[in-house]
Amino acid sequence: MAAPVGGLEAEEGGGAGRRASAVEVSAPSDPAAPAPRCPHGPTLLFVKVSQGKEEPRKFYACSACRDRKDCNFFQWEDEKLSEARLAAREAYNQRHQPPLSRAQCIERYLSFVQLPLTQRKFCQSCQQLLLPADWREHSEHQLLSDISITQLRKPSQLLYPLENKKTHAQFLFADRSCRFLAGLLATLGFRRVLCVGTPRLHEQIRLTAAGDRSNTKSLLLDIDFRYSQFYLEDSFCHYNMFNHHFFDGKAALEVCRAFLQEEEGEGVIMVTDPPFGGLVEPLAITFKKLIAMWKEGQSQEDSHKELPIFWIFPYFFESRICQFFPSFHMLDYQVDYDNHTLYKHGKTGRKQSPVRIFTNIPPDRITLPIEEGYRFCSLCQRYVSLENQHCVHCNSCTSKDGRKWSHCFLCRKCVKPSWIHCSTCNRCALPDHSCAGPKDGCFICGALDHKRSNCPNIGIAKRPNKSVEFSFSLEKKKKKIAGVKVPSSVCGLRSDSRHCHHCVLLPGLRGDTEASKACFRELRLAGETQDSQNQRRKRVTFHLPWLIRNANFRMKVQTSPKVMILARVRLHGKTGADAWWQEGTGKAFRMGWSKPFHSRKVCIPKQQRAEFMWDSNSTACSFSQLK
Ligand SMILES: C[S@@+](CC[C@H](N)C(=O)[O-])C[C@H]1O[C@@H](n2cnc3c(N)ncnc32)[C@H](O)[C@@H]1O
Ligand SMILES: [Zn+2]
Ligand SMILES: [Zn+2]
Ligand SMILES: [Zn+2]
Ligand SMILES: [Zn+2]
Ligand SMILES: [Zn+2]
Ligand SMILES: [Zn+2]
């Protein structure tokens, strides 16, 4: 596949046709034609939209995996496949199903709990509960022994989270958020919770129910098959929320249906926390199918009722979610994650989490914890963040991100504190925005209410790094390396980074303003910091203006003779809703000996930020952008 779906998340949130290029879900030309299937169930039909125009040829790709490494299904909509290829595909799909059936998992689980404690082992390497007959096969693996019933009830602590952003994005609730959610559901009187992609909440509800005998039930639907080892058939279904596919067929679908329709659908809520990189539209279609399933079980007089839902998602998807579910509104509560360094609560994390709860439950029924910085606004009749002040002009507590917003009389609405009204654009924007630049929202997440430089996803690079300080000097006389010209009007960097209008530059760099006005193509960096191992390590972070995201750089490091250096390029998340730190993608390469400058070509594909790091006794490092 020509990587068309790779950029999906980048394009979500902004809506159709505003970006240079986006991939969107599309309606099939023939609605009766069934979508071809990959191992993750029916695929989705996508279309590439460039400059607002749809490319004529649509294609099918995996609904669940946004990285072709995870599932490389690709088929043009109008492509005809031979019988032999169809049969091969079917065989491939079969081979890529989980090794054990649901029934086998349950049988194994029942045998496992019967074992004495000393015989209960878990293989961390294979992420599998072991029965004595399996021990030999796993003897060389990393094993955990004496697995208690308490541990079995907390599989999300036993299993390692699948953080692969493009498929599972398994970011688990921090204890604080998990307890808050479980408590809120209990306070609201729900007796059944359909947990769609919320394994830790599922676990918490079951633990609480076991403790207080409240009998609250929970059913987990998740694509992570590992969970099937820990639950009987009435509490887990292997499920794909992007195409409403039950991997175990009709029997599993019936489990879900019965769960939703119990007590004529009374007392049930759906809570979902999908991977943030996922497209809103297919999720909305799925949730509507679950709602329809719940409705079938309702009596006539209840037909006006809605299935209560908590959809946990970043706040900048508000307009997109409300487009599909107009009765939803966003709560101010900031949802925290354990294994997510960025999305943590303001007080403890490095950054305020942008993740919120969207719900159709009236906000006056939802109490947010005062001790965590929420207050009740009697005018809005809802709990809001302490900083979120009631605006008398808007007659509402208007902040979306937890900061105090200010009212603009010209725009007739409240705007972010850092914005000012621009008479050229006739709207509020960041002071250093480009009036000539694209006016259609943020290039990272696509939201219309902010630009990329103010995007909550931009994260790490913008924060000043106290331990590293760089200085640079312009080397005009040096042999010039051709640079790519970026017109200043499209350069997305803030003016306070003193960037050159024509180059990619480094936020936080301090330097000569004259120099930054000139078109310089080579930067010289000097600076260092110590890391924990007392190694010398230098690092610099690049912001790439949106236009030149596919950029080649030359990195040159000057080493003292006979010093081998290890350089590393780290890419910070792709564009899009989950521009998170991507630990795993650091590409390390060695650079040779003794020559005064060693150079390497580095390609930064589509990322918005990249970090260059080098360990060495090197005296200087320079970067230049190549054509
Ligand atoms: C952002 S995490 C949410 C976990 C939640 N915060 C918790 O702690 O319970 C996303 C969850 O959705 C699941 N998931 C990812 N893709 C899915 C898909 N296509 N269908 C169903 N579940 C999926 C992941 O396995 C993961 O459990
Ligand atoms: Zn697939
Ligand atoms: Zn093993
Ligand atoms: Zn208010
Ligand atoms: Zn206002
Ligand atoms: Zn304004
Ligand atoms: Zn302007």
Around ion ligand 6, which residues have CB less than 5 A away?
408, 410-411, 421, 428
Q: Is the CB of 578 under 6 A from ligand 1?
A: no
Asked whether this complex has an ipTM greater than 0.85, the answer is yes
pTM of the model: 0.70
Mutation pick for ligand 1 pocket among 40, 273, 276 (CB with most ligand atoms within 8 Å): 273
Give the model's pLDDT for residue 562: 47
Residue from 25, 156, 11, 6 nearest 70 by CA: 6
Q: At 290, which helix (H) or strand (E)?
A: helix 280-296
Q: Is the CB of 353 under 6 A from ligand 1?
A: no
CA distance 579 to 446: 12
Which of these ranges, 6-10, 398-402, 542-546, has the smallest mean pLDDT? 6-10
Q: Is the CB of 173 under 6 A from ligand 1?
A: yes
Give the model's pLDDT for residue 148: 96
Q: Which ligand has the minimum distance to the alpha carbon of residue 439?
A: 7
Question: Alpha carbon 369 to chain centroid distance?
Answer: 26
Average per-residue pLDDT in the chain? Answer: 74
Mean pLDDT value across residues 399-414: 92
Q: Is the CB of 241 under 6 A from ligand 1?
A: yes
345 has pLDDT over 70: no
Give the model's pLDDT for residue 441: 53
Give the model's pLDDT for residue 431: 85
Give the model's pLDDT for residue 277: 79
Q: How far is the CA of 315 from the centre of ligand 4 (A)?
A: 18
Which of these ranges, 34-48, 87-101, 416-430, 479-493, has the smallest mean pLDDT? 479-493
612 has pLDDT over 80: no
Q: How far is the CA of 323 from the centre of ligand 4 (A)?
A: 23
Atom of ligand 1 nearest to the CA of 201: 9
Phi-psi region of 197 (alpha: psi -120 to 50; beta: other; left: phi over 0): left
Contact between residue 519 and residue 503 where contact means Cβ atoms under 8 Å apart: yes
379 has pLDDT over 90: yes
State the chain's maximal CA–CA distance in angstroms.
84
Which of these ranges, 13-17, 388-392, 449-453, has the smallest mean pLDDT? 13-17
Give the model's pLDDT for residue 177: 95
Atom of ligand 1 nearest to the CA of 224: 25
Q: Which ligand has the minimum distance to the alpha carbon of residue 435?
A: 7
DSSP string across 511-544: --HHHHHS----EEEB--EE-TTS-EEEEEEEE-
Q: Is the CB of 198 under 6 A from ligand 1?
A: yes
The pLDDT-based confidence of 52 (bands split at 50, 70, 90) is: low
- Higher-pLDDT residue of 561 and 49 is 49
Q: Is the CB of 240 under 6 A from ligand 1?
A: yes
- Higher-pLDDT residue of 508 and 271 is 271
Q: Tell me which residue has its CA closest to atom 9 in ligand 1.
A: 198
620 has pLDDT over 70: no
Q: How far is the CA of 125 from the centre of ligand 3 (A)?
A: 5
Atom of ligand 1 nearest to the CA of 198: 9
pLDDT in tens, 114-124: 999 999 999 99
Q: How far is the CA of 97 from the centre of ligand 6 (A)?
A: 54
Phi-psi region of 259 (alpha: psi -120 to 50; beta: other; left: phi over 0): alpha
Q: Which ligand has the minimum distance to the alpha carbon of residue 388?
A: 4
Give the model's pLDDT for residue 320: 93
Give the model's pLDDT for residue 497: 30
Residue from 351, 367, 368, 281 nearest 317 by CA: 281
Which of these ranges, 273-282, 461-470, 522-531, has the smallest mean pLDDT? 461-470
Contact between residue 587 and residue 568 where contact means Cβ atoms under 8 Å apart: yes
Unique residue bearing structure tokens 């998170």? 580
Tokens encoding 321: 């979610």
Q: How far is the CA of 396 from the centre of ligand 4 (A)?
A: 4
Q: Which ligand has the minimum distance to the alpha carbon of residue 221?
A: 1
Q: How far is the CA of 216 from the centre of ligand 2 (A)?
A: 34
Atom of ligand 1 nearest to the CA of 240: 20
The pLDDT-based confidence of 255 (bands split at 50, 70, 90) is: very high
Q: Is the CB of 171 under 6 A from ligand 1?
A: yes
Mean pLDDT value across residues 244-250: 97
Q: Is the CB of 307 under 6 A from ligand 1?
A: no
125 has pLDDT over 60: yes
Q: Which ligand has the minimum distance to the alpha carbon of residue 43?
A: 2
Mean pLDDT value across residues 525-553: 41
Give the model's pLDDT for residue 472: 24
Mean pLDDT value across residues 157-184: 86
Q: Is the CB of 277 under 6 A from ligand 1?
A: no
Which of these ranges, 90-94, 218-222, 242-246, 487-491, has the smallest mean pLDDT? 487-491
Q: Is the CB of 64 under 6 A from ligand 1?
A: yes
pLDDT in tens, 307-330: 999 999 999 999 999 999 999 999
The pLDDT-based confidence of 550 (bands split at 50, 70, 90) is: very low
Among the ranges 45-54, 62-71, 101-110, 401-410, which has the highest mean pLDDT value?
101-110
The pLDDT-based confidence of 22 (bands split at 50, 70, 90) is: confident
Give the model's pLDDT for residue 583: 31
Give the model's pLDDT for residue 72: 93
Residue from 238, 217, 221 nearest 104 by CA: 238
- Higher-pLDDT residue of 336 and 570 is 336
Mean pLDDT value across residues 184-201: 97
Contact between residue 290 and residue 254 where contact means Cβ atoms under 8 Å apart: no
CA distance 507 to 498: 8
Residue from 451, 522, 445, 464 nearest 491 by CA: 451
530 has pLDDT over 90: no
334 has pLDDT over 60: yes
110 has pLDDT over 80: yes
349 has pLDDT over 50: no
Give the model's pLDDT for residue 426: 87
- Higher-pLDDT residue of 255 and 470 is 255
Q: Which ligand has the minimum distance to the alpha carbon of residue 428?
A: 6
- Higher-pLDDT residue of 384 and 17 is 384
Q: Is the CB of 246 under 6 A from ligand 1?
A: no
Give the model's pLDDT for residue 521: 27
Give the model's pLDDT for residue 422: 87
Residue 306, classed as helix, strand or coil, is: coil
The pLDDT-based confidence of 67 (bands split at 50, 70, 90) is: confident
529 has pLDDT over 80: no
Mutation pick for ligand 1 pocket among 38, 65, 224, 230 (CB with most ligand atoms within 8 Å): 224
Which of these ranges, 8-17, 57-66, 199-208, 358-367, has the smallest mean pLDDT? 8-17
The pLDDT-based confidence of 489 (bands split at 50, 70, 90) is: very low
Mean pLDDT value across residues 133-141: 96
The b/e string for 313-327 (b: 16+ C-beta within 10 A; e otherwise) is: bbbbbbebbeeebee
Helix 175-187 with 199-212: angle, nearest 10 deg: 60
At residue 47, what are phi and psi to the nearest 5 degrees?
A: -140, 140
DSSP string across 133-161: GGTGGGTTS-EE----HHHHT-HHHHSPP
CA distance 290 to 293: 5
Give the model's pLDDT for residue 95: 95
Q: Is the CB of 242 under 6 A from ligand 1?
A: yes
Give the model's pLDDT for residue 602: 61
Q: Is the CB of 71 under 6 A from ligand 1?
A: no
Atom of ligand 1 nearest to the CA of 338: 8
Calculate ∠ Cα 63-66-71, nearest 5°: 75
Q: Within a 13 Å sphere around the CA of 208, how many CA atoms are in the beta-carbon half?
A: 23
Mean pLDDT value across residues 484-505: 29
The pLDDT-based confidence of 276 (bands split at 50, 70, 90) is: confident
Q: How far is the CA of 237 from the centre of ligand 1 (A)?
A: 13
Give the model's pLDDT for residue 622: 57
Mean pLDDT value across residues 44-57: 80
- Higher-pLDDT residue of 559 and 120 is 120
Q: Which ligand has the minimum distance to the alpha carbon of residue 410?
A: 6
Residue 14, classed as helix, strand or coil, is: coil
Mutation pick for ligand 1 pocket among 67, 198, 342 (CB with most ligand atoms within 8 Å): 198
Q: Is the CB of 516 under 6 A from ligand 1?
A: no
CA distance 334 to 398: 15
